[in-house]
Amino acid sequence: MINDCSTSQPAAGIYLLGEAITCFDCHSDQGTCNDGECDGAVCIKMETSNKDNGSLKVIHSTVRQTLLFSERRTVHKGCGDEIEESGCQQSGFGSKWTSRCVCERSLCNGDAALIAAGLEPSSGTITSSMPITQLALLSFVLFFIAVSCSLLLINTLCVHCC
In the chain, where are the structural domains located?
1-127, 129-162
pTM above 0.75, yes or no: no
Rounded-to-integer distance, Cα 123 and Cα 114, Å: 12
SS3 161: helix
**Percent of the chain with pLDDT strictly greater than 70:** 70
pLDDT over 50 at 94, yes or no: yes
- pLDDT value at position 68? 39
40 vs 3: which has the higher pLDDT: 40
Write out pLDDT tens, residues 4-38.
333 344 444 444 456 789 999 999 887 788 889 99
Map residue 119 onto helix, strand or coil: coil
**109 with 42: CB under 8 angstroms?**
no
Predicted confidence band of residue 49 (pLDDT cuts 50, 70, 90):
confident
Q: Binning pLDDT at 50, 70 and 90, where does residue 129 land?
A: low
